[in-house]
Amino acid sequence: MAKIDLLTAPIGKTFATYLIPSIIAVVASSAYIFADTAFIGIGVGADGLAALNFAIPIFNFYVAFGLMCGIGGATLLAVAKGKRDVQQQNYWYTLSFIVNLTIGLLISLVTTLFSHEVIQLLGTPPNLLELVQQYLGIIFPFSWLFMINYVFLVMTRNEGKPRLVMIAMVLGSIINIILDWLFVIVWNQGMQGAALATLCSPLLSVSILASYLFSKRATLRLQRIHFRIADIGKLLFSGSATFFMELSAAMVIILFNSVLQNLAGSLAVSAYSIVANLAIMVVAVFSGVAQDLQPLVSTNFGANQYSRSRLVLRYALIITFAIGCCTYIIAYCFPEQLVGIFNTDTPALVPVAKEAIQLYMLAFFVSGMNMIMIAYLQAVQQTKAAFAASILRGLILVIMNLVWLVPLFGVRGVWLTIPVSEIIASVLLGWYVLKQTR
């Protein structure tokens, strides 16, 4: 596929060209956790589901650091692209790669050396420590691989190659699903088998994307650079909204795990594991739309074509609202079938998870639009506003609502916390973005 000129091509057609590959790529990049959960639920059982839910926040940290460098660098790169500044494009691309790889290797080292302490920090109860250790003990040394995967994903999309990103992520997910089935079901390797299968997903996708990015076909080039510390700060701050969105998601999972464990024990945590994994896939769809938005908005913003940037925002909001409505209809009408993907041998889990799905997923009516509005603010370099919105939506509102909903409604209060928080965030964000785009 020929590269697309983001400054002159029709916005509707360009947005549509990027949209499906972008959604498929992000969903595929998130599918390894979904696949692990499904096979662990069948092969290990309810304790395996609960254990995996205590491990999931680690992947949120990987996404947070990977996209902070990837989206941060890509935003600065795309603005430079709008100004036709090739040297600055390569500068931000190189700096993004170096910073991400350095952070990834440091995280790999620290989590491998102090794996037991890290697992305890996740709030893992004593009865699940061994299962979580079996899983994360294999993942920790390769933290850098998961993180660099997201940088390559974002940079290749900004190269005008959304289909290549889609192919790489889909193939990575397919190999993960096949190996999950072999390791967990056929060879009965449990949590360790699922972890080994998971590693193969980013390994394959990184290999495919690197074969393009490091070839002569790519426009972007790694080069020797003399960078300033201030530029590292600028890079990280540009991606800070995405970072805190993912970091908040990790902290919320840890918090919900703790509250649910105290309120109702491992069964409620297992139900939340099912909800969280379904939510990961839906949020991945929203994230795909948001990442589709970034290169189009940033490039046109850099070229002072503001009306084109606003048109992309409008398309993205309409699409995410439609997706959110369809998602909730499916969740409300078929909750038992969704639970059945992860659970075959614990009947008591079904009614708990069913109620959780139907209440928690009310959030999807507006959560996709919230993500789009934050992504837009980040893409037009309103970094402080995007950062504040991410913290407010992802953490502050969640904690505030959890504090009063749980005493009133118990476990149901936990399930209602995210929908209430998203509704409040949508009102505040909608007011601010409307004010900025008039």
| Model confidence pLDDT, tens digit, residues 124-135 | 999 999 999 999
Tell me what pLDDT residue 376 has: 94
Is the pLDDT at 421 greater than 50, yes or no?
Answer: yes
Tell me what pLDDT residue 309 has: 87
Provide the strand spans (E) within 156-239. Answer: none
Is the pLDDT at 105 greater than 90, yes or no?
Answer: yes
What is the Rg, in whole angstroms, of the alpha carbon atoms belonging to the chain? 21
Is the pLDDT at 279 greater than 80, yes or no?
Answer: yes
Reduced to 3 states (helix: H, G, I; strand: E, B; else coil), residue 346 is coil
d(C-alpha 161, C-alpha 218), whole Å: 10
- The answer to pTM > 0.85 is no
Inter-helix orientation angle 229-238/240-264, to 10°: 60
Tokens of 259: 């509250």
Per-residue confidence at 1, pLDDT binned at 50, 70, 90?
A: very low
Which of 11-20, 97-106, 307-316 has the weakest average pLDDT? Answer: 11-20
Burial code (b: 16+ CB inside 10 Å, e: under 16) for 365-389 equals bbbbbbbbbbbbbbbbbbbebbbbb
Matching residue, tokens 């056929």: 186
- Stated length of the chain: 438
Tell me what pLDDT residue 192 has: 95
